[in-house]
């Protein structure tokens, strides 16, 4: 009972219903009506409780017997994958869930079901199977298996699979690099309104990549279509359109429009949770860029949105704000400043290495440790930070009278 409650709490009830097959597949069929009552449960003297693996096995057997219900098999497999993701790697049930999911997807994929082919390909490249049944799951093998499945699914007009196949051809994943075929599959996926493909096609057309002639006007058209179809998984086109409106384009295809630029950045940050857009807004409200009025509260808000998603530059910006604070908005906190600087350093930023070194040397938010500080300065110098290089050359460098002001300047 405890195991069942654990799984139910880890995976929302609507997870299965949310993973509906893509309508782009020509052989997809509508899902059967949801069972909203409890008539399918045994009650009274006939009631019985099964462990979750036994319950899964029971429903797996039902799905297998109903050969015409490929959607049921695929949805069950997706559900099992979600359960596995919510299960600790040390839990033996995790291997069971993934093995069953793989079996169901392979069975449906072998019958030409495009959605199953696509999900099976994604399962291979996800790395989730690396501990299941001692399967051969090195990166090359995973992509080799996935590539063929993506191509098969794309033949049934599965948009996401066509997009994945294009990436494989462009980046030589599971197949040889072939820019011509990459463009071909990007076009196929874009024609099916796949936002990632429309964005990629727009970018390579605007900048003349992958053997395509440069055509800014046509590329912008694809970028606009991608922005209209943008999702949290594919927010990139909205941000790129904002960048283009920030500076304008050659041939006056797009004019500079700072107001619309901010509108696009806001949409990408607020609605699509796109960290680079949130970071750009943080800069705009901190320094008054792009016609924005300086607003510490909004700057901290947007930097925070980006930093919590692991955006390195935003983490460093938050370190600065936490150090100096802002009246009625944010109280200064050396400990939080040090923490954000460390998170920025985890992203490999040379400036962050130097900042953490300075924090450690002076003792801001952490106990002073000149020896540890030198190690951070060495990392910063190796990453090309000129201040760290100079500091290592000259250990007699004079300290500023106000350490907090100096750290604000260096970040």
Name all contacts of 31-39 with Cβ < 8 Å and 24+ positions apart: 31/71, 31/75, 32/69, 32/72
Q: Which residue has the tokens 């600087």?
A: 341
Residues 6+ away with beta carbon under 8 Å from 188: 154, 162, 166, 197
Beta strand ranges found along 107-246 (DSSP E)? none
* Residue 404: predicted pLDDT: 56
Using alpha carbons, select from 397, 398, 380 the residue that is nearest to residue 389.
380
* Residue 1: predicted pLDDT: 43
Alpha helices, H only, 66-158: 70-85, 92-110, 114-126, 139-154
Positive or negative CA dihedral for 65, 69, 74, 76? negative
Report the predicted TM-score, pTM, of the whole model to 2 decimal places: 0.78
Helix axes 70-85, 92-110, angle to 10 degrees: 150
Domains of the chain, with CATH numbers? 1-25+49-170 (1.25.40), 320-411 (1.25.40.10)
* Residue 410: predicted pLDDT: 58
d(CA 346, CA 331): 25
Using alpha carbons, select from 387, 362, 382, 385 the residue that is nearest to residue 372.
362
Instruction: Please provide the DSSP assignment of 256-271 as one string.
Output: --HHHHHHHHHIIIII
Each residue of 289-314: b (16+ CB within 10 Å) or e? ebebeebbebbbbbbbbbbeeebbbb
- 48 token code pair: 């019985």
d(CA 156, CA 161): 9
* Residue 64: predicted pLDDT: 62
d(CA 97, CA 107): 16
Element (H, E) at 335: helix 334-346
Residues 6+ away with beta carbon under 8 Å from 286: 294, 296, 299, 303, 317
d(CA 81, CA 248): 45
- 217 token code pair: 């006007």
* Residue 409: predicted pLDDT: 58
| Average pLDDT, 10 consecutive residues per value, the chain (411 residues) | 45 39 38 40 48 64 66 87 88 88 92 94 89 58 92 96 98 96 98 98 96 95 97 97 92 88 98 98 97 97 97 97 94 96 96 96 94 93 91 63 54 65
- 160 token code pair: 């996401």
Q: Which residue has the tokens 């880890």?
A: 10
| Contact between 361 and 373 (Cβ < 8 Å) | yes
């Amino acid at each position: 009972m405890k195991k069942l409650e654990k799984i139910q709490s880890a995976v929302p009830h609507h997870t299965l219903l949310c993973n509906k097959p893509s309508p782009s597949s020509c052989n997809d069929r509508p899902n059967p009506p949801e069972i909203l009552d409890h008539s399918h449960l045994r009650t009274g003297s006939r009631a019985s409780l099964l462990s979750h693996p036994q319950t899964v096995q029971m429903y797996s057997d039902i799905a297998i017997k109903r050969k015409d219900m490929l959607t049921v098999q695929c949805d069950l497999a997706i559900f099992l994958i979600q359960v596995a993701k919510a299960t600790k790697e040390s839990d033996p049930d995790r291997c069971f869930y993934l093995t069953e999911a793989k079996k169901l997807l392979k069975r449906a994929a072998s019958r030409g079901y495009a959605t199953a082919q696509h999900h099976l390909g994604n399962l291979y490249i996800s790395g989730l199977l690396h501990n299941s049944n001692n399967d051969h799951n090195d990166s090359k093998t995973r992509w080799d298996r996935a590539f063929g499945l993506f191509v098969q699914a794309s033949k049934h007009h599965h948009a996401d699979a066509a997009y994945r196949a294009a990436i494989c051809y462009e980046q030589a994943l599971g197949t040889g690099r072939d820019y011509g075929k990459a463009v071909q599959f990007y076009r196929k996926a874009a024609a099916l309104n796949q936002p990632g493909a429309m964005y990629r096609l727009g970018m390579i057309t605007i900048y003349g990549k992958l053997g395509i002639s440069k055509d800014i006007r046509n590329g912008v058209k694809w970028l606009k279509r991608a922005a209209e179809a943008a999702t949290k998984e594919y927010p990139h086109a909205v941000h790129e359109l904002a960048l283009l409106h920030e500076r304008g384009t050659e041939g006056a295809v797009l004019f500079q429009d700072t107001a619309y630029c901010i509108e696009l950045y806001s949409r990408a940050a607020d609605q699509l949770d796109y960290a680079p857009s949130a970071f750009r807004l943080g800069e705009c409200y901190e320094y008054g860029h792009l016609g924005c009025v300086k607003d510490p509260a909004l700057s901290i808000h947007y930097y925070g949105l980006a930093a919590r998603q692991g955006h390195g530059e935003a983490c460093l910006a938050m370190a600065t704000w936490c150090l100096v604070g802002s009246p009625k908005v944010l109280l200064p906190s050396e400990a939080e400043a040090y923490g954000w600087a460390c998170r920025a350093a985890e992203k490999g930023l040379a400036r962050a290495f130097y900042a953490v070194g300075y924090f450690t040397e002076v003792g801001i938010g952490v106990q002073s440790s000149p020896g540890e500080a030198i190690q951070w300065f060495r990392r910063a110098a190796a990453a090309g930070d000129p201040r760290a290089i100079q500091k290592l050359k000259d250990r007699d460098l004079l300290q500023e009278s106000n350490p907090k002001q100096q750290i604000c300047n260096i970040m």
